[in-house]
Each structure stands twice: as C-alpha cells, then as structure tokens.
A and B are shown apart, each in its own frame.
Chain A
C-alpha cells in the first residue's frame, strides 16, 4: 500500500468532484506527493547520519538529534497528505451508498444498465452536498493544523545550519550541524506554498458550493 494505491483509490473520487476539486487533486498528487517521493525524501534521507556534533561523547548525537527533530519533516508531510486526502473517501462512500440505493430501487422495476449506473455522476445536492462540504471543511482544518504544527515544532520554517545542544550525555554546550540546511529550507518553503495553494483551492471550492446552493434556493422559491 503506497502512494500509487492511494492515487487509484482517490482517482475514483475525482469523477464526483467539482472542477476546483479536480484541480486540487491534481495539485495534491503532482506538486506534493510526487515532489515528496522523488525529491524531498532524498534530501532528508541522510538527516541523522549526517547530523554531526562537535563531540566524541557516545550518545550525544542521538540525543541532540532527537531533541531538535522530534518528528521529521518527511513523516509530518506524509501524515499531512494522508489526513488531507482521506475526507474525499467520505464522499466516495456516500456516492457508493447512493448507487446502492438506486440499484435497490430499480431491482423490482425496469432493468437498468449496471455499467451505466457505475459510471453515472451524481449531482452534488442534498445530503451529498453536506458530505462534500464537510469533507472540504475537514481538509482545510487538517491543512491548517499541520501548518501550525510545523511552525510550532520548528520555530518558523527555516532550517538552521547550527544548533547548540546541552542535553545529557553531552558534556557541555555542543555545536551540532544539520545536513543540507538550505536545500531543506527550500523544500519546506515549497511544500508550505503548495499547502497554502491547496487551502485557497479548498476555500474557493467551499465558496463555490455555498454560492451554487444559495443560487438554487431563490430559484426554487420564485
């Protein structure tokens, strides 16, 4: 089970999304997951091996690394991407439930083309609208939470070159040097920017859905 399988699972959701939702999914897969897999993982690949402290004291390096990096950027991004893509499955489950209900309706009636029913796109109305809006809301919340967690854990988004560590068993204040700090800062800012774009897309989609629903309401009442 890897990112490819997640792509297959979410590809099905794509059909039921709005246009903005389809753009969001593309941005997610190409500018975030793909960048994570082909680039970011190799930048952070030697993060602990090449974390060097100015001491021969065994254990000092491990402890200092653990102190400054409670959870690595790569793992945080992986968790963020998993959490952010999962609300779309709520929509997929709702659509599957609607299809199942439709099949049951027609079971005793006229015969319908099962293949056509599988491919049919449902309009985002009624309870499906609420499910879709909830999934958008959760996506935005998860993105915001992870951006805050990043900011809180790493005091801003910049990777320093040098960290001073005095955790036991380091004998005194010891200089520790992070590997590839500039490259890491570049990728952190990139992922942050794309995350911001995704938040904007989600907000735009939410506004679009709300406007569409409001526009339908006066038409119904007139």
Chain B
C-alpha cells in the first residue's frame, strides 16, 4: 500500500464528489503528494547524515538532532496527507451502503439481472439526505485535520523557517555546541510551498462546505414553496427507510411499476405524476 494505492482508492470517491471536491482531490495528489514524493523526500533524505555538530563528542550529534527534530517534516506531511484524505472514505462507505440497499431493492422487486446491477454501480449518487450529512462531516474533518497539522508544524518548528545553525547543549555535548542543518534554504522553500498548498486546500474545503449548505437551503426553500413537486430528494432520503418501504409496497401492488421509475426516484430526479408518500 503506497501513495499510488491511495490514489486508486480515492479515485473511486471522485465520481460522487462535487466539482470543488474534485479540484481539491487534484490539488492534493498533484501539488502535495506528488511534490512530496518526487521532490521533498530527496531534500530531507540526508537530514540526519548531513546534520553536523562542531564537536567530536560521540552521541552529541544524535542527541541534538533528536532535540531539534522530534518528528521530521516529511513524516508529518505524510501523516497529514493520509489523515486529510481518509474522511473521503466515509463518503465512499456510505455510497457503497446506499448502492447495496438499491441492489437489495432490485432483488426484492425481481429486477436483479446483471444489466440493472451494473446500472446501480455506475450511476452517480446525488448528495442529499443522509449522504449530505456524511459528506459535510467528511469536509469538516478534513478542515480540522489540516488546521491541527498546521498548528503542530507551527508549534514544533516556529515560524516555518529552517535555521542554518542551531545551538545545542543537551547531554553528552560538553558545552553549547554549534550544529548545522543541511539544505536549510531548500527546506524552507518546500515548507512554505506545502504550507501554501495546505491553505489552498483549506480554502477549497470551506468553499465546498458553503456550497453544500447553500445548495441544501436552496433545495429546502424550493421544496417548501413547491411541496407537490415530488422530487423527494431531500425529504425522500430523510425518511429513507419508510420511503423505501412505501416504495416496495407500491411496487408490490402496482402491476407496471418500472425499475427506472424507482431508481430515478431514489436518486431524486423529477418525474411527472410521482406519488411520494414520504414527502
């Protein structure tokens, strides 16, 4: 399991994201993970071997390195990227659960052939109802993780700048010893770069959150002003289990309940003359 594996896993989530979510995912993979792998890792590659202290005292080098770098930037970024991308898996799990429910519905109504099962797998879920809440939670967690890691960086490495020289007097160093860090300017450049992309990602996440909230409010006000529209997207999913039971009952009594109607209703598309008993 490496970054490419994570990319494969998250590409699947991409389909069910908003447009801003897809931009965010591209920024994460191209400007953060890729830069980390192809550039930053080689800058920090010799961070310990080229960390030189002005002393011959054995152990002083190691102790001073450990004192000034409790956890390396590279590892912190790797952790940050993993934690920030993982909430998207919540959405993936919810979508998989909804697809599973739809498949069960198909089996119950006797439409469980391969073609309809494939259609369930391929159609894009609308972000409404409980999926909306899951999506919003995942965005909030992403924001939180980004902010927490930026704060940790600031606490561990004040000012985000890498010093050329650090003075160390931890045991067994005999007195205050000058220690020189390798490639401090290059490291500062990459730290600032990763900081800027992290901020861009925070802005994208906030924009996505605002977009989702505004869209939900707009949908709710449209539904309130036009209750007989039969869209059933927000409220239909809100009472999803009763909605689905109503659907099953309807289908069992109706002779010509078509599968397309049911799938379209579940994904919230408008259909003329829909009877939405849960709305």
Contacts and interface: CB of A to CB of B under 8 A. Distances in A.
Contacts of A1: 3-4, 6-7, 29-30, 33-34, 37
A66 to B, nearest CB: 5
A34 interface: no
B185 A71 contact: yes
Given A5-B7, A86-B30, A66 B37 contact: no
A48 B180 contact: no
Given A49-B46, A75-B43, A66 B29 contact: no
A82 interface: yes
Nearest to B190: A75
A35 interface: no
Contacts of B34: 1-2, 5-6, 82
Interface residues of B, number: 39
A75 B186 contact: yes
Interface in A117-141: none
Contacts of A48: 46, 50, 182-183
A6 B38 CA distance: 11
A72 B6 CA distance: 29
B245 interface: no
Contacts of A78: 35, 38-39
A77 to B, nearest CB: 9
Nearest to B61: A58
Interface in B15-61: 19, 22-23, 26, 29-31, 33-35, 37-39, 42-43, 46, 50, 52-55
Nearest to A46: B46
Contacts of B184: 66
Contacts of B37: 1-2
Interface string B183-194: 111100110000
A11 B184 CA distance: 36
Contact of B180 (A2, A4, A58, A72): A58
Nearest to B183: A66
A54 interface: no
A163 interface: no
A74 B42 contact: yes
A2 B22 contact: no
Contacts of A82: 30-31, 34-35, 38
A134 to B, nearest CB: 16
A59 B64 CA distance: 14
Contact of A69 (B6, B23, B186): B186
Interface in A31-85: 41, 48-49, 57-59, 61-63, 65-66, 69-72, 74-75, 78-79, 82
A63 B29 CA distance: 33
A141 to B, nearest CB: 17
Nearest to B49: A49
A111 B30 CA distance: 36
A145 interface: no
Contact of A62 (B30, B50, B55): B50
A78 B180 CA distance: 26
17 contacts: A1-B29, A2-B3, A3-B38, A5-B4, A5-B7, A49-B46, A49-B50, A58-B55, A62-B50, A62-B181, A66-B186, A74-B42, A75-B190, A78-B38, A78-B39, A86-B31, A97-B19
Interface of B: 3-4, 6-7, 19, 22-23, 26, 29-31, 33-35, 37-39, 42-43, 46, 50, 52-55, 122, 164-165, 178-186, 189-190
Across the A-B interface, give the 7 residue pairs with the lowest CB-CB distance, nearest first. Answer: A59-B180, A62-B180, A70-B185, A1-B33, A58-B54, A1-B3, A78-B39
Given A74-B42, A78-B39, 9 more contacts: A1-B4, A1-B33, A2-B3, A5-B4, A6-B34, A59-B54, A66-B164, A70-B185, A72-B183
